[in-house]
Structure 1
Amino acid sequence: MKIKFNLKREVKIIAAVIVVGGIIAFTERRQSTASIKDITIKMVNLNENHFLDENDIINLMQLNRENLKGASMDRVNLKEVEKKIKSEPFIKDAQLYSDLKGNLVVKAELRRPIARLVRNDGPDGYIAEDGTVMPVSDKFTARVVLISGAYVNQLLKQNNANDTEDGQHLIALINMIRENEFWNAQIAQMDIDSKARITLFPQVGDERIEFGKPENAEIKFKKLMIFYKEILPRMGWNKYNRVNLEYEGQIVAE
């Protein structure tokens, strides 16, 4: 097999790579010595999620905004500042870079809460989409399902609900509720005992729904839908105080 080698073309490619590399290196050197005009804050996932504002991000950076103006970019240890910002539980990710206008840009992605952990003997908390357990905020209250009961104390001791198998099942259950328009509107609260057994409390109706462990959730919700569609219309919404979904192939209502 013959291999054709075009020396002239290869030289051009190498030269182009060297030129581009030189431009990048020159640009990086120029940016590192450029003066900072201002700090620009870009917050991602802000809709219905106002736990932090721009001033909070500035405070997390531990940098004096006014003193930085006109200072050289190489005065800022971007990796160290990113680390400080990421240490905030409400923040999922953070990136720092300089733009073409000479601004130091901070892009911070906020965590979105999916459930609120409530208790009587201490401060509440939130569970985020990625399972991170977060504190509450004085600035904002998220409209999410409430979680109460002895299991809450276990969750608040963890950094992430996904650290345990029961926690992973719980996250899957919460997401199943959130993604279904009817259940998202109907399920107001989940009370969970120390063994991770769940009791649901609805927005409409007085019944206590004994869900059990957060396993086989899809089958249990199908049974609960049968209860709502076929039993309650005939018997009345205030007929039952207790509904149990734990037994296979059965709906126990009292």
Structure 2
Amino acid sequence: MKKVNWNNVRLVVILLVVVFLFSFSAKRNETRWLQEATISFEETEYFITRDNVNKLLIQNYDKVTDIRKDKLALNKLENSLDQNPMIEKAEVYATVDGKLKAVIRQKKPVARVYSESESYYIDRNGTHMPLSDSYTARVPLVTGKVDEITKEKLQQILLYIYNNDFLKKNIIGIDVHQNGDLTMMSRNYDYKIAFGQPITIEKKFKNYMAFLQDASKNNIAEEYKTINLKFTQQVVCTKK
């Protein structure tokens, strides 16, 4: 007769008890009611308020404590937040102690478009973003005949400015003319920057930055009323 290995039996029993306790604990945890919702933003500027995010989180409930953990549809919540025109990406999860947490990455505007019919932001991905009631972004203002420039070219110019610390601080406006030419405005000087057509963008901006660095050293930037960048081999300036 084969002897029973009691050590193995005890090990199996212990494993079964652990699995049972884990399952019981997990099931009990799932059926708990949520205690609170906490919302954090990756940015310090808030285009959407915590209150608005909280309303999207609790959806059809009056308050977060009316929600049971096992009734949460986290993917649905994330998709709902991602559909908000102010939000680029949201991550939602529930903790074991009954907290519903949301981490929000907002859209980052690179310009504000102002036309006769509407006003809106353009974000770094090239999509439209409505103006916010709680925060105004300091980005270049695009005016004029905006339809005369393609979205791709406009986005290329805006991203170049946004990703360059020098230009980001200097360029505050872009006016689009009927023929598609661009005129830009400087934050620190009252001259106009005649950019011309949205071509050879990098070369024109490099010419402008080189000019302004030299002009600032010699304190002559204020003497000009027009900085013409249309000719890629040189910068042509018109004095006041």
Q: TM-score range by the shorter chain?
A: 0.7 to 0.9
Cα distance in structure 1, aligned partners of 2:214 and 2:67: 71
Q: Name the residue aligned to 1:142.
A: 137
Aligned-residue identity in percent: 25
1:185 partnered with 2:182: no
State the partner residue of 2:81.
Answer: 85
- C-alpha change, 1:198 and 1:30, in structure 2 (3 Å) is farther
Report SS of the residue matched to 1:250: coil
> Which residue, 152, 176, 183 being the options, matches 2:160?
176
**Is the Cα–Cα contact under 8 Å of residues 61 and 67 in structure 2 kept in the other structure?**
no
Match of 1:74 in 2: 70
Q: 1:219 aligns with which of 203, 217, 221?
A: 203
The count of corresponding residues between Structure 1 and Structure 2 is 220
Aligned pairs for 1:72-151 (under 5 A) are 72-119=68-115, 121-151=116-146
Q: Any unmatched runs of 5+ in structure 1? A: 1-14, 156-165
Alignment of 1:59-70 (within 5 A): 59-61=55-57, 62-66=59-63, 68-69=64-65
Flag the structure with larger Rg.
2
Deviation at 1:233, TM superposition (A): 7.3
Cα offsets for 1:145-193 (capped at 9, x unmatched): 2111111x689xxxxxxxxxx4333333223323433322221211123
Structure 1 residue 195: deviation in Å? 5.6
The aligned residue for residue 53 of structure 1 is 49
Q: Which amino acid aligns with 1:32?
A: E
Q: What is the aligned partner in structure 2 of residue 203 from structure 1? A: 187
Greater CA drift, 236-245 or 224-233: 224-233
- What's the TM-score once normalised by structure 1's chain length? 0.72
Look up the SS of the partner of 2:34 in the other structure.
coil
Shift of 1:75: 2.6
Do structure 1's residue 39 and structure 2's residue 37 form an aligned pair? yes
Contact in 2 for aligned 1:38/1:65 (Cα 8 Å) = no
Cα distance, 1:100–1:235 mapped onto 2, change above 3 Å: closer
Answer with 184-193 or 134-143: which moved more: 184-193
CA RMSD of aligned residues (A): 3.2
Aligned 8 A contact 1:112 1:129 in 2: yes
Q: 1:241 corresponds to which residue?
A: 225
Residue 101 of structure 1 deviates from its aligned partner by 0.9
2:148–2:180: 8 Å Cα contact kept in structure 1? no
